[in-house]
Chains A and B, each alone.
Chain A
Amino acid sequence: MKFSYNWLAEHIDGLTVPPAEIGKLITMKTAECEGVEAHGAHFDHVVIAKVLTAEPIPGTHLAVTSVDTGRYGVKQVVCGAPNCRAGILTAYVPPGHLGVTTAKLRGVDSDGMLASAKELGISAEDEGIIEFAEGEPGSAIPGCTADTIVEIDNKSLTHRPDLWGHHGMAREVAAIAGRPLNPIAADLPAGEPAVEIEIRDPKLCPRFSALRFENVTVQPSPLWLQQRLESVGLNPINNIVDVTNYLMAELAQPMHAYDAAKLQGGKIIVRVAEEGEPCPALNGQTYTLDSSHLVISDAGGPVGIAGVIGGGPSAISEATTTILLEAANFHAASIRKTSTKLKLRTDASMRFEKSQDPANTVRALARAKWLLEQVSPGIRLVGGLADLYYPLPEVAPIAFDLDWMRRKLGKPDLTAAEVTGILTSIAFGVTEADGHFTVTVPSWRATKDVSLKDDLVEEVGRMIGYANLTPVPPLVPSVVPPLPPERAYLRGLRQLLTAQGYTEVYNYSFVNEAQAAELGLPIEDHVRVVNPIAQGQELLRTSLLPNIKRNINDNAREYESFRLFEIGKEIHARGRELPEEIPHLAAVSFEKHGDGVANLFELKRLAGTIVPGCTLEPVEARPFEHPFRSANVTLRNEPIGRLFELHPSMVEVGRAAVLDLDLTRVQALRTAAGKYKPLRRFPTSAFDLTVPTAERELAGTVLGFIREHSGPLTLDVRYLYDYKGDKGRSMTFRITLGAADRTLTGEEVTAIRSQLLAAVAAKYQ
């Protein structure tokens, strides 16, 4: 929201704060100022000039002119405007302003510029150079002055309906500067209401006020009004519309002017729209409405979408001679819903959705009457004010004690007089006795913003200035809580992974449909984003792997070999309930050259480091896994993850082994160290056993078989090596035997060995 310094200053009696400082003051006390910019500084230098001669430059659209600029003398200026001709009064910009320099155009010297209204920053008019009906060469452009524009962040005005107009901001600045605010008159002559009003649902429209005028002349506004609107980012249109926009920017009260001749019947009805009811709007669009939208209607149907936009057919045109001027108040949430649903954000809807003050409507109409009389000479009010008002429940006076305010702010020396002074300066009504306060809230703060004593802490605090509070250390508890076990575990895990050479990546929680499809993850299993604004955000990840795959291919372009990991959450849908979020680890070992076996075993070792005692069980590969290189990682027969090589068709180059662990399961299955086992006192015996097997027999299976058939005295079975020959594969194991209470005899060992040999021979020929 842009504020004009000159405009603010008109509302404050004796403002002396210079324009350059006002932004900082507003930032520290009221709302965030995003910038302070000079506007129209050139108006101190631009003058009215008379074109004395204008000769076309052959072969161009340009003319060389001689202009009488009064204070700068007679100048030669080259001008390309179609309306440039001898005899007119226009605006002359001397070199050094608006980027104008002394130049040669098509070989002709040009000393300055003749300017359009757009170039001057008065309006959007750029058809030709500006023309004046009267004026002395050398005099300033009438009504136009140098100004300073203060831009305030809209977000910081969300809670302040009053600050969407200059008068409200002027109240703040006046309080900060310690100057009085000039009041706005709200007098209207009494008379028969000019129009009948019906409000069907007062909750949605607490107030509707209107005036009717006749003998209206629709014409461009005077330059001062155009410049002022332009300076705060509003486009001048015509004098009538400009007045409504001016008041919106001044009092934060959106208004609308109807061509009264185009309204049917003598009655305005505020009602919800019928299902499918069309409303042609003044932006040229026709909106199809439903019962969630509020409309202003005449006998013929909607003439405007309440609080959002006026209707097209009843808009002000050059032929308009009578107008109905509306100033109404609407329910904030309803306006917001409508403007969101229609995707139609207007200056009016933006203000109404902040909960505007119903008391403002009549004041705005009174001010509009005063202004219309200046910009449309001869205009006459017909009848009196039409005003239907269902007052909102009043905000109860707020009570608090001085001591409470002191404790909230942490300012023990705060005095009752300070509190009273501050609240009074921003128009709160204050009564105080012995530190007990009762405060009434002004209507423009009462719609939503202020209702609790806590809201007043902010008012007092900001006006005192938070820099004037002495920082106080809070009490520190003597008990320091431990880091939660899950967090401590993940921290340790991350340390372990980096120590093993893995670098941490963070990926998004999103995947796109193509990524999910590529890995064969069912699209319908995913929680879907309903309003993604960018590609790649359609689904929430049910696996870390789609993004990990992308990491692999991206980094394979830069590295011969690398290791990376991510710890992140899989998000699994649970119907309408919040989804299950499961932390997972995905670790990758990549090698551009080689057969990939070492990477798999490196990750197997990593799995054993993270989950001691885990085993691998080969399983059928998923489509994105190497069909002969994938296994479940299990602990005590519970699957806790997966180890596999990414299908070579999924990597552009090289081999990537991936370990994917479900960290919730890993943590759940962790066991604390129990009682220690006494060290063995008697020696052990060992023997080696070679088992001939089929070529693709699994070492783990054979080892399990041996363990199963070697009896209770077996302490350890260890795979030593294998040999692959023509007939298949033979594996050699070392079996270690021992008893806790004695040394085994040779006979015992031989018996166990023979028994085992027989079992092995029976199973593996």
Chain B
Amino acid sequence: MLGRKGKLAEVSKDMGKLSPEQRGVVGKLLNAAKQTLENALTERKNAFEAAALAARLEREWVDLTAPAAGAGLGSLHPLTQIQAEIEDLFVSLGFTVLDGPEVETEFNNFDALNIPPDHPARDMQDTFWLSNGHLLRTHTSPVQVRGMKKLGPPLRMIAPGRVFRNEEVDASHEHTFYQLEGMMVDKDVSVAHLIYFMKTLLSAIFKRDVTVRLRPGYFPFVEPGFELDIQCLICNGAGCPVCKQSGWVELLPCGLVHPNVLRLGGIDPEEYSGFAFGLGLTRLVMMRYAIDDIRQLQGGDLRFLTQF
């Protein structure tokens, strides 16, 4: 119809036989008809194409509720998470983060912390002794010694890490656990500072206002030494099974750094004083997630680990 040999072309071929007036009218009509036909054609074509596209897309239906290929997100160990959180908190308070070795010298682990050989306090920490004459550190406190020598006064440092006690393992006892040692040395650091600091810190860790209390505790590397209790977060001090009805939960040992320890770290105890504390990261993780079996933390069971 629209081609060179189509019907409309035949009509226009005969146009020469018409008068100029008629030719004008027919020409117009012819153009209009051509336009109409062409429009109709484009429309049809578009419709066909649209239908074809729609049909193709329809065939491309996908079930988006089916699982994605490849690996999902993995999880960080809860101890890694809490450690990072607490490190950040301390760094914002001006503390340097230090590392210490898992295998320590007897001197750094005990003697430098005012626990000489045959001191009964050595019994407080059942020790793994090693064939090379050294030991697995029983606490992160030896990093205090390294820190004092490395940083010099005034100083603020923390040392998170793995520590070891030669104990039988059960649901609430582990031979391997995580601590975070903290130390601040400056002029005129007092017990009142320690109380304020620990209260602030623990409130940040537990993300709520906590009430703390100090009571005497014996640790040879601090004098005076304290056990710090927090008011039970479950019963708010009213008494419940978690706090054994006392309203308080023992949380961490702390104290003013013993002058002998400062001296061994190369710091003059007449000029400087400091406080130190040992935060049990394993304990915090268990409290936060209500974990009732400590062995799960190092059991490598993905059913447990993928929950964090």
Chain A residues in the interface with B (C-beta under 8 A): 27-32, 155-160, 332-334, 336-337, 353-354, 407-411, 452, 454-455, 457-458, 461-462, 466-467, 469-477, 479-484, 486-487, 491, 494-495, 497-509, 527-534, 537, 540, 547, 550-551, 554-555, 558-559, 562-565, 569, 571, 573-579, 581
Contacts and interface: CB of A to CB of B under 8 A. Distances in A.
B243 to A, nearest CB: 13
Contact of B134 (A483, A484, A505, A578): A578
Contact of A32 (B97, B117, B227, B300): B227
A576 B168 contact: no
Given A336-B118, A531-B166, A578-B105, A487 B124 contact: no
A688 to B, nearest CB: 30
Contacts of B168: 533-534
B192 A504 contact: no
A484 B301 contact: no
B55 interface: no
B256 interface: yes
Interface in B164-205: 164, 166-169, 175-176, 184, 186, 188-193, 195-197, 199-200
Interface in B84-106: 84, 87, 91-99, 101-105
A470 B191 CA distance: 9
18 contacts: A156-B218, A353-B118, A410-B192, A454-B224, A467-B213, A477-B94, A483-B91, A487-B99, A502-B71, A504-B75, A506-B300, A507-B300, A509-B136, A509-B176, A529-B136, A533-B166, A559-B302, A564-B74
B77 A505 contact: yes
A501 B230 CA distance: 38
B95 A501 contact: no
Contact of A353 (B92, B120, B199, B227): B120
Contacts of A487: 87, 97, 99
B122 to A, nearest CB: 9
Given A481-B94, A503-B302, A504-B80, A578 B103 contact: yes
Contacts of B79: 506
B128 A483 contact: no
Nearest to A563: B71
Contacts of A411: 192
A461 B275 CA distance: 15
Contacts of B97: 483-484, 487
Contact of B121 (A158, A479, A498): A158
Contact of B190 (A334, A409, A495, A578): A409
A675 B303 CA distance: 47
In order of increasing CB-CB distance, the 7 nearest A-B pairs are A501-B71, A410-B192, A410-B190, A458-B224, A471-B196, A333-B118, A466-B214
Contacts of A501: 70-74
A476 B74 CA distance: 37
B298 interface: yes
Contacts of A528: 130-131
B227 to A, nearest CB: 7
Interface in B108-161: 117-121, 123-124, 127-134, 136, 156
A494 B76 contact: yes
B121 A481 contact: no
B266 interface: no
A574 B79 CA distance: 30
B300 A509 contact: no
Given A466-B215, A467-B213, A532 B223 contact: no
A504 B83 CA distance: 14
B74 A529 contact: no
A466 B226 contact: yes
B278 interface: no
Nearest to B248: A27
A226 to B, nearest CB: 30
B103 A571 contact: yes
A586 B184 CA distance: 36
Contacts of B105: 578
A290 B98 CA distance: 45
B216 A474 contact: no
A142 B216 CA distance: 40
Contacts of A554: 300-301
B236 interface: no
Contacts of A509: 102, 136, 162, 164, 176
Contacts of B120: 158, 332, 336, 353-354
A333 B122 CA distance: 12
B306 interface: yes
B48 to A, nearest CB: 39
B223 A555 contact: no
